[in-house]
Structure 1
Amino acid sequence: MRLSRLTLAITAVLGSSVSTAAFAIDLYVDTKTEQIYAKPGPGRVHMGSFVKEDAAKPAGNMTDRAGDKAVAKTGDTRADSTADSATEKTDAAEVMALRRDIELKAKMREARLVSDMASLEERVKETEKTKMKYGPGLHFESKDGNFTAAIDGRLQVDSQYNIINDVQSPAAEDRPYELNSGATIRRARLGVEGTFYKKWDYKFEYDFSRGNGAVTSGITDAFIRYNFDNPLSVKVGSFKEPFSLEEATSNRFYTFVERNMAVNTFLDNPNVYKTGVGVNYAVPRWQTGIAFQTEPVGSWSSAATSINPNGNNSRNNGSGDISWASTGRISGRPWLESETKFLHIGASASHTRVNTQYFGNGNFANGGMSFGAFPAVNVDRTNVLNTSNLSTGNKNDPDSRRVESYNRWGAETALVYGPFSAQAEYLQTDIYGHGYSGESLFGYYGYASYFLTGESRTYHVKNGAWNRLKPHQAFQLNGPGWGAWEIAAGYDYLNMNDGVIRGGEADLVKFGLNWYPHSNMRVMTNYVHVLDVNTAGVTDRRSAAFNNANLDAWVTRFAVEF
C-alpha cells in the first residue's frame, strides 16, 4: 500500500524545510488506522512538534542576538559558511530520519492491512460455503452445490359437522353408535429433504398427528435415493408403496378433503409407508416404479386405533402384521398435447404376505389383517364398513380362518383439458389363506373438477401424479387477485362382501369447493351424501349398527404448507 497523499505532503514539506529559516509542525496519529495527520481530530493522538534545530534553540535577549549578529558580521566568512552547512546537514538528516520513520510505519500499516484483508477474504469464503434462500420452504446450499437441505412442513386443520346422522338403535347393552361432529389436526408434519454430492438425495418427515392420537406419532418418509445419469433412481428406507394415482398424489394436492374409500381402505389405512427398497424410472411421457417392502417404521403398542380396533400391530395402524410386499405401478400420458391438455392412464399390482401369531394351545395371539372404511369424513373416522380380523378362531379348529396373503390390483385414468379435469380408478383386493379362496373386495370412484379462474391441474412427472397448483393471481385483499377457485363433484363406491367375508357395502356422492389464495395455502369444503349403507351380517357390532343409515356431512379443511 502506498503512502496517503497527506503523508506525502507532510514528507514534502519536511523536505523543503531544509532551506527554511524557522519551521515547526505538529503531527497526530490515528489510534485505529495509524494514519498520520497534520491536524487534530477525533481518535487522533498528538505525536509531538517537529522543528529545525536552530529554530528550537532559545532566542535569548535582544542584546545577545545583536552580539551574535555582530560576531557573524566580523567573523570568518568561511567558518560561518561551514557552520551553516553543518546545520543544514543536521536538519536534512533529521528530516530523512523522520521520513524513514513515516515510511516504516506506512509499510507496517500496509502489511497489517494486507493481513486483515486476507483474513476478511477467508471469512467471506467461509460464509459463502452456505447459501440460504426461501421459496416455498427454507433452503440451504453449499457453495460447490454438493450439499443442499430444505426444511418443509404442513398443517391441516379439519372440521366435520354431521347434518343428518340417522343410525339404527343398537342393542340395549351397547352404546349409541353414530358419527360425531368436531374438529381435529388431521396432519401436522415437519421434515427435511435435500441432496448430497449431487447424485444422492434424501428425505425425512415426521407426522406429529399420525393415527389421530390413537397411537404414537410416526415417521412417514425416511429414505436415501441415488439418481443415475438417466431417469433411473434407486431408494432405500421408508416410503410410499407405488400403487394408485390418488395414493401417489400428496395429500397437499387432493381435490377432495379425504381420499376415496377404496384407496383409503386398501392402501392408506393399513399404512402405505413401508420400509424397503424401490426403483423408479421416469420420463415426461411415462414412469414406472417397483418396490420390495415390509412393515412401516414405528413402535410396537397394544393401542387400538379408530380405524381398525383389533388390538394388532400399531405400526400398521392396528390393521395387521405383514411379512413383506412386492408392489409395482406403471403410468403414462399416451396423449400429450401440452402440460394443460393430456390423458393419463396407469395400472398397479401388489402381492403381500401376512403373519398370524398363535399361542402354544393354538389360540389366536396377534397379527392377521382387517380392512375398514369411513365415508369421506375425516374427524370421526369410525369404520362404517369393517371386515374385522380375517384371522379368526383356534389354529387347530377346522372352521378357523387364517389370512396368509392378499393381492391388490388397480387401474387408473385422468384427463386434463385446460381448466377441466376428470379422474377415475378401480381397485381390488383378493384374499388367500386357510378358509379363503380368493374372495374379492373392490371399489371404484370417479370425479370431475373445473377451475373457475382458468387454472389447470399440474402434473408431477417423477411420481406420475398431481402436483402443486399456482394461481394465476394470488389473493390480495385490496388488489385484483382472488386466488384460484375450483368446483368438483364425484361418486364413490366400495364393496367388501364376498364369499365368507362380510365387510359391508356403501356408496356416496360428494361436492367440493376449493379456494387457493396462494400456491401453498388451501381452504376446502365438501358436502358428503351417503346414498346407501349395507352392513347386514358384519361381525363388528358398531359397523352393523350403520346398516341402512342415513348420513350427510359437511367437512372443511384449512391447509398451509412451507
Structure 2
Amino acid sequence: MQKFPLYLGASAIALTLAGPAFAAESADELQKRVDNLEATIDALRSEIADIRKQPEFKPSPNFTTSSGDYAFKFRGQIAADAAFFNVDKGTNDYNDGTQLRRARLGIDGTIQKDWLYRLEIDVGSASRDDSASGEIDVKDAYLQYKGLEEHTTITIGQHKTPNTLEQAISSSDTLFTEIPLFVEAFTNRTTAGGDYKAGVSAKYSDVNWTATLGVFGENYSINGGGNSGGTATTVYKDEGWGPAARLTWAPVNGVTETLHLGVSGYWRDTGGRTTGLRFRTGPEVSVDSTRLVDTGNIAANDYSFAGAELAGQYGPIYLQSEYGRTDVDRVTGSDVSFDGGYVGASWVITGENREYKDGAFARIKPKNAFSLAKGGWGAWEVAGRYSTLDLNDGNIAGGKETNYSLGLNWYPNNYLRFLVDYVHFDAKKSGIQNEGDAVITRVGVIW
C-alpha cells in the first residue's frame, strides 16, 4: 500500500510540469500526451488493484490476478472411515475398526492463462496401492495446456486415465464410500490398467459431449522402483503402456434433467511381465483389505478393457449404471475374459440435484447450508446399489461376488459430507462362500 501515495504524487507532478509544455504544442501532440498519460494512469490503477486484492477463501486461499493470467490455490480432502462387520458364512475375520481413507494435499495453478498445473499427494495410509504406512502416494502431477481453442485441453504427466464414469467422478463426489466391484478390479493402478498413470492425453469437451484420448505408461510410484509402488510382487522388464479413451454424450443436459451415455476402454501391453497382472477386489469396504475374489497373477502379453455407461437425473432422482469387460491375451493357455457391472440410484430428500459437467456428475450442494441459527439443514440423500463381478473363466477360478448396498448421505454445506453405508456381500471362490454384512461411516472434508 506504500506505492499508492507515490503513484498519486508522481501523477500530480507530471500534470503540473506538463502544463507549460502543453501551450507550445499542437492539438495533435497535446492529445497524444493526454492519451499516453491516461494509459499510464490505467496501468497504475490496475497495479494498485492487484496490490489491494485479497485472496479469496472458499474455504482455502485462492489467489488470482485481476487479469486472470495467474492463479494459485490449495486443494485437498480428508476422508475418515469406521467399519463394523457381521459374518454369515466363511471363516474370514474382518477388521472392525477405523481408517484414514484419504488425506490429500495439493495445489492448482495457472500460468499466463493458457497453462495449468496440479500436484496432489495422499499421505493417508489407506491409499489402495500403499505397501507401507509411511508412503506418500502421488495422485495428480501434471501440466495442462488449453490455448489451442476454447474446448480442447492437452495434459502431460500423471493423471486419471479416461476409463469408466465412476473413475471420472471425483472421489469426494461418489455416491457411496467405495467404488463398485468391477471398477476397482479393472482399473486398479498397480494390478490393472486404469486410475492414475503417467501419460499424455487430449480432451475435447462441449456442453453435450466429451472425447478423450491418451497414451499412458505406469503410475509414478512404480516407475523405476521395482516393487516399491504397491502390493504387486512383479518383476518388470519394461514399463507397461497403452492407449485409453472415453466418449460421452448427453442428449439431455438441462439444469435439473440430464441423460448421460458413454463408452470407454483401454488396451495395454504388459511390458514383458511374466506375473503381476491381477484382478481382485474386496467387499466394497476399504477398512478391511481382504480380497474376496482374486484371479491371482496372470502371465499375459497384453489385455484390454471396454465399458458402457448409462446415467441420468430427473430433479432429485439420480441413476448411475455401468458394465465392463476385460480380455486377457495370456502367454500360455487360452485367452480369458472377465466382466462385471452395477446399477445405483439415489433420491435427494431435500430436492437438490447434481451438477453435470465434462461427462461427470458432482456431489450434492445444499440449497440451505446447515445452521442452527438460520434454520438450514443441508441436503439429505438416500441411495441404493447392486454390484457384481465375475472373475471365473477357463482354468482361472477368481470367484464371483455380488453386493447390495444402501446409503444415507448428509451434506451440511458445499465442503462437508457424512456418509453411512450398509453393504451385504456374497462371494464364492473355488467352492468357498464368504457372506456377510458391513456398516461403514465416513466423515469427509473437501477444499
TM-score, normalization by structure 2? 0.84
Q: Tell me which residue corresponds to 1:199.
A: 114
8 A contact 2:247–2:263 mirrored in 1:
yes
The offset of 1:438, in angstroms, is 3.1
TM-aligned CA distance change 1:231 to 1:427, over 3 Å: same
The offset of 1:356, in angstroms, is 3.7
8 A contact 2:50–2:65 mirrored in 1:
no
C-alpha distance after superposition, 1:263-308 (max 9, x if no partner): 0111135361111100000001100101101011125264695xx5
8 A contact 1:165–1:179 mirrored in 2:
no
The offset of 1:335, in angstroms, is 2.5
Which of the pair has the greater relative contact order for Cα pairs under 8 Å at 6+ separation? Answer: 2
* Equivalent position to 1:257, from 166, 172, 177: 177
Determine helix, strand or coil for the equivalent of 1:163: strand
TM-aligned CA distance change 1:341 to 1:433, over 3 Å: same
8 A contact 2:188–2:195 mirrored in 1:
yes
Q: Tell me which residue corresponds to 1:332.
A: 249
Within the alignment, does 1:380 sit opposite 2:288 as a pair? yes
Q: Tell me which residue corresponds to 1:491.
A: 386
- Return the structure number with greater helix share: 1
Within the alignment, does 1:451 sit opposite 2:371 as a pair? no
C-alpha distance after superposition, 1:501-525 (max 9, x if no partner): 2211110101000000011110000
Within the alignment, does 1:551 sit opposite 2:426 as a pair? no
Q: Where do 1:417-496 residues align within 5 Å? A: 417-461=314-358, 464-496=359-391
Whole-Å Cα distance in 2 between the matches of residues 377 and 285 of structure 1? Answer: 34
* Equivalent position to 1:142, from 55, 65, 79: 65
8 A contact 1:304–1:311 mirrored in 2:
no
Determine helix, strand or coil for the equivalent of 1:549: strand
8 A contact 1:447–1:489 mirrored in 2:
yes
Whole-Å Cα distance in 1 between the matches of residues 340 and 387 of structure 2? Answer: 8
Q: Where do 1:127-166 residues align within 5 Å? A: 128=51, 131-164=54-87, 166=89
Whole-Å Cα distance in 2 between the matches of residues 428 and 517 of structure 1? Answer: 38
Aligned length: 403
The offset of 1:495, in angstroms, is 0.3
Whole-Å Cα distance in 2 between the matches of residues 213 and 368 of structure 1? Answer: 16
Q: Tell me which residue corresponds to 1:239.
A: 159
Whole-Å Cα distance in 1 between the matches of residues 181 and 266 of structure 2? Answer: 18
C-alpha distance after superposition, 1:291-335 (max 9, x if no partner): 101011125264695xx5x42379xxxxx9852020000001123
The offset of 1:165, in angstroms, is 5.6
Residue 247 of structure 2 aligns to which amino acid in structure 1?
I
8 A contact 2:89–2:433 mirrored in 1:
no
Determine helix, strand or coil for the equivalent of 1:481: coil
Q: Tell me which residue corresponds to 2:19.
A: none
Determine helix, strand or coil for the equivalent of 2:85: strand
8 A contact 2:49–2:66 mirrored in 1:
no
* Equivalent position to 1:225, from 140, 144, 147: 144
Q: Tell me which residue corresponds to 2:207.
A: 284
Determine helix, strand or coil for the equivalent of 2:174: coil
Residue 475 of structure 1 aligns to which amino acid in structure 2?
F
TM-score, normalization by structure 1? 0.67
Q: Where do 1:509-548 residues align within 5 Å? A: 509-530=404-425, 532-536=426-430, 547-548=432-433
Whole-Å Cα distance in 2 between the matches of residues 520 and 349 of structure 1? Answer: 32
TM-aligned CA distance change 1:508 to 1:131, over 3 Å: same
- Stretches of structure 1 lacking an aligned partner (at least 5 in a row): 1-109, 169-176, 315-319, 358-363, 392-402, 538-546
Whole-Å Cα distance in 2 between the matches of residues 231 and 303 of structure 1? Answer: 38
* Equivalent position to 2:131, from 193, 201, 214: 214
Determine helix, strand or coil for the equivalent of 1:335: strand
The offset of 1:339, in angstroms, is 2.1
Higher CA-based Rg = 1
- Stretches of structure 2 lacking an aligned partner (at least 5 in a row): 14-43
Residue 289 of structure 2 aligns to which amino acid in structure 1?
R
The offset of 1:407, in angstroms, is 0.7
RMSD after superposition: 2.7
Q: Tell me which residue corresponds to 2:261.
A: 345
C-alpha distance after superposition, 1:45-97 (max 9, x if no partner): xxxxxxxxxxxxxxxxxxxxxxxxxxxxxxxxxxxxxxxxxxxxxxxxxxxxx
Within the alignment, does 1:560 sit opposite 2:436 as a pair? no
Q: Tell me which residue corresponds to 1:180.
A: 95
The offset of 1:436, in angstroms, is 4.2
TM-aligned CA distance change 1:125 to 1:411, over 3 Å: same
8 A contact 2:309–2:322 mirrored in 1:
yes
The offset of 1:435, in angstroms, is 1.8
Determine helix, strand or coil for the equivalent of 1:474: coil
8 A contact 2:81–2:287 mirrored in 1:
yes
Q: Tell me which residue corresponds to 2:186.
A: 266
Q: Tell me which residue corresponds to 1:27.
A: none
Deviates more, 1:194-203 or 1:508-517: 194-203
Q: Tell me which residue corresponds to 2:218.
A: 295
